[in-house]
Structure 1
Amino acid sequence: MRIAVIGGGPGGLYFSYLWKKRHPEAQVDLFEQNPAGATWGFGVVFSEQALEFLRADDPDTVDAITPRMESWTNITLNLRGESVEIDGVGFSSIGRLELLTILQTRAASVGVALRFDRQIASVDQLTGYDLIVAADGLNSLVRRSFESDFGASLSVSQNKFAWYGTTKRFATLSQTFVETGLGTFNAHHYRYSPDMSTFLVECDPATWAAYGFADKTVDESKAVCEQVFATALDGHALISNKSVWRNFPWIWNERWWSGNRVLIGDALHSAHFSIGSGTRLAIEDAIALAKALEAEADIPAALARYQSERQPIVKKLVTAARTSADWYEKFPEHMKLGLMEFAYSYITRSGRVDDIRLRAMAPRFMARYEASRPSSAGRSEA
């Protein structure tokens, strides 16, 4: 089988590696428009469950990645100079470039032809391939070229965000909420290496307009964010890497394949950064696609199987991500709550966590939360 993979992000690299490793006779060509050492953004996170899923399918790759990861078991929320930790929420993180480098090395080691600095301007360039895997991200050429075939839809969230890094090392995945004279901000921050952290700044449209960010340069915006989060940054600067203000794009496709073309990762669906599942979903898509191709005798049947088995799982996560994003669209209102009520609202925002689950996974937080309430009976578990 001849396979062309467009896009050298985690999903494209992992599918290429997985298929070539299991099928050495296959020809797998990966096309990436950027150089091998280029990327945007900073760190990416994996939940404990995501790593367990990957380990079950490919323990060798997990063993290659985990020594380079930072890990923690709590989430810290900072509001009005107070902090609260939510225990029992395990995550690990790694630099995006470091993850890509590991996956590039593994793909090359099994014979994948990695073609960097190769932009595919038209799908017509890929004649002669049995399968075209579109792992080319939010602005996918393949999806845009066949939008009606895929049933593609695109919308954006209202809030603005900019993705920075910093040399400030944070103990856990943290959220810092700040109110200023002109509006409200939130920062999602976590360490991803011994000396670097991701620092993603978010604000509502009214705040973005009040600060005049539309007319500010990248450096001017960065300076404002450093001032707003001076306490959290503790003297450290923010670092920019294409850190422009943007709205989160919601991508969904009703049909995941058309002809011999199939979508995975952000080309197929997007999940809000507040649940940290984008990289996980891309890699799990790659695993699901490989399994479907192995299970069926021909490509159309395999692609149909990929969608039918994987789509319900993804839809559940994307629904949770949308619910989480809705909470963030109203975070200035949530900030008016007391610290413990705010934390409870935050941790239950996606609808996947109720009191019973919270008592099991975060007993220290729940004990503090329930002690803070006027009635010791706590919330209904219904």
Structure 2
Amino acid sequence: MALRVACIGGGPGGLFFSTLFKQTVPDAEVVLFERNQATDAFGFGVVFSDATLNRINDADPVVRDGLRDHGTHWDDIEVWLKGEKKSFSGNGMAAIYRKTLLQLMQERAAEAGVDMRFGQYVPDLSQLDGFDLIVGADGANSSTREQLGESLGHTAETATAKFIWFGTTHLFKGMTFLHRKSEFGNFAIHGYPISENLSTFIVETDEETWRKAGLDEFDVSQPPGPSDLKTQRFLEKLFAEDIAGQPLVANSSRWANFRTRRTRSWHKGNVVLLGDAVHTAHFSVGSGTKMAMEDAITLVREVAAHQDDLETAFTNYEAERQPQVAKIQNQARGGLSWWEHFGRYYDSFEPTQFTFHFFSRSIDIDKIRLRDPELVESAERDWLTRHGKAPLETPLSAGPARFNGRLLSLTHESGKVELQNDGASLALVTDPAQADASTGLLLTAPNHEEGLKDVFGQIPAEAAAVVIQGGNPFTRILLSEEVRLGRGLTSVIVDDRGPASNLTLVLSGRADAVVPATVEVSHA
């Protein structure tokens, strides 16, 4: 008997699943339910990395053809701030207007024989009792997920940064990050072209700046539709020079905080979820749509192979996709953190170091050099101009100690701990109350981000240096930047990731010096 499949949600993930399943299992009945009309589309652009498109293109050419015929493509990413423009090449990416992509995918689904029912909301899964398989592809605020209940183990972590999504008639050349400091605080833009006459224009800021600028007055509890016009006019004025006086374009544009969603189990009974309904990753990594479509590919394959045993199909689907999604989410957390602190980086770094700091937030110097040797060379030249020596060979003063370079070691002897390099040494204490201008503090980073606030409280007002050990690379860096950029103290990170990481930490300004793990502890 032919399988009856219902898909809730007509975004890229739901459309891709429905099309692929009908193509793979032609005798199946596939019905897609979408609460909005076919012509409705919230948001602006959808971005794909060249390096990640192969699997999607192999499954169906709709995205490849759409990007070729209607999209825009670029290789360079640019950072604009303080009157300078810096670029990072070797980042092949393409974007398409979301409305155009949905139209193309709807046409593809129709050709495959999918029964698409627009303007139909499914508030109660019992309405679909006649279907053998129900796929929830209804986005981050998934009603399907909510109906399945707490047994799925769903969590949502809310970021501190505020963001709002506009378009603009100004056409950027490619992915462009703009930074402006207003009288109220810092604002930043993710801008990129999505058609011949429109670019995406995503704005981020911190909550304090947002409130000071009076941008907290719009009632976000209103249903989708009305846009925040006060914010639109404010941003048009602030970024007028960057967008050549062109207007912003609103589409249900309102401020929000990004929520990273994770879900332990992606199915219950004959209902299975995909895409944003079970996982999200900050838009700075441009992977949301890609992840949903890759979920669809795996789910189609497994269900087609196990039509009489959906539990096995779902288990296989989760076993393959959950580790892949977790990897992207972990990478995205570093990117999201950067956007939560970008105002600090704007104030602390000049354009060249700021740019290197930005692009090294998730990859090290060796990987950057492979894509764009000139970017690395410019960062190293900039350091040499400011300090007179290469980064790891630059002397460092820490209280009474003067180290000849930025690679240090820790020694333990008779209960005493010292930071050493080429004969110079600095005594360390583990009690923050004992730290002063002549001694350093050995501080342990937490294993989880939630513990950082308590450790921040242990940073002394005065210390010759703060040496950060333990935790993980992410928490060590955040603690180091609080020490160095937030408190004005010298920071040293104990790092176990190798020479490229050591150089990246110092050159980017994340730490003043590094203790490589191989020389972390020696017993004299």
Question: TM-score, normalized by length of structure 2?
Answer: 0.71
- Give the drift of 1:63: 2.7
Deviations 1:81-120 (A, max 9, x none): 1110011111100000000000000001010000000011
CA shift at 1:66, angstroms?
2.4
Deviations 1:343-371 (A, max 9, x none): 11111113xx1111111111221222222
Deviation readout 1:196-219 (Å, 9 max, x if unpaired): 100011110110110111214711
Residue 500 of structure 2 aligns to which amino acid in structure 1?
A: E
1:60 to partner: Cα distance: 5.6
The 10-residue stretch of structure 1 (362-371 or 68-77) with the greater mean CA deviation from structure 2: 362-371
* Contact 2:20/2:59, CA 8 A, preserved across alignment: no
What are the residue-to-residue correspondences of 1:1-382 with 2, within 5 Å?
A: 1-59=3-61, 61-216=63-218, 218-296=228-306, 298-336=309-347, 337-350=349-362, 353-374=363-384, 377=390, 380-382=499-501
CA–CA separation in structure 1 for the residues paired with 2:65 and 2:174: 22
Alignment deviations for residues 308-357 of structure 1 (CA, whole Å, 9 cap, x no partner): 0110000000111111101110111111211111111111113xx11111
Decide whether the 8 Å contact of 2:25 with 2:304 is kept in 1: no
Q: Which amino acid aligns with 2:327?
A: K
Question: Contact 1:34–1:118 (CA<8 Å) still a contact in 2?
Answer: yes
**Length, aligned pairs only:** 380
1:276 alignment partner AA? G
Question: Relative contact order (C-alpha < 8 Å, sep 6+): which is higher?
Answer: 1
Do the aligned partners of residues 198 and 120 (structure 1) sit closer, same or farther apart at CA in structure 2, a change above 3 Å counting? same
Kindly state the Cα deviation for residue 376 of structure 1 after the two structures are TM-superposed: 6.1
Distance 1:235 1:63 in 2: 33
Which has the larger share of helix? 1
Deviates more, 1:355-364 or 1:34-43: 355-364
Structure 1 unaligned runs (5+)? none
Q: What is the alpha-carbon distance in structure 2 between the residues aligned to residue 77 and residue 55 of structure 1?
A: 30
On the 8 A contact 1:28/1:112 being kept in 2, the answer is yes
Measure the CA separation in 1 of the matches of 2:25 and 2:200.
Answer: 37
Whether the 8 Å contact between 2:193 and 2:200 is mirrored in structure 1 is: yes
Q: Is the 2:163–2:257 Cα contact (8 Å) retained in structure 1? A: yes
Alignment partner, residue 434 of structure 2: none
CA drift at 1:295: 3.5
Contact 2:67 2:94 in 1 (8 A): no
1:12 match: secondary structure: helix
CA 1:240–1:304 in 2, change beyond 3 Å: closer, same or farther? Answer: same
Cα shift readout 1:48-92 (whole Å, capped 9, x = no counterpart): 112223223334652344221100000000111111001111110
Structure 2: 5+ residue runs without aligned partners? 219-226, 393-498, 502-524
User: What is the letter of the counterpart of residue 94 of structure 1?
Assistant: I
Task: Give the letter for the 1:308 counterpart.
Answer: A
- Kept after mapping to 2: 8 A contact 1:87/1:364: no
CA RMSD of aligned residues (A): 1.4
Partner SS state of residue 214, structure 1: coil
Q: Distance in 2 between matches of 1:356 and 1:373?
A: 17
SS at match of 2:279: coil
Cα distance change on mapping 1:224 and 1:19 into 2, 3 Å: same
The percentage of counterpart residues that share the same residue type is: 38
TM-score, reference length from structure 1: 0.96
Go from structure 1 to structure 2 and tell me whether the alpha carbon gap of 1:298 and 1:376 turns closer, same or farther (over 3 Å shift): farther
| Contact 2:260-2:279 within 8 A present in 1 as well | yes
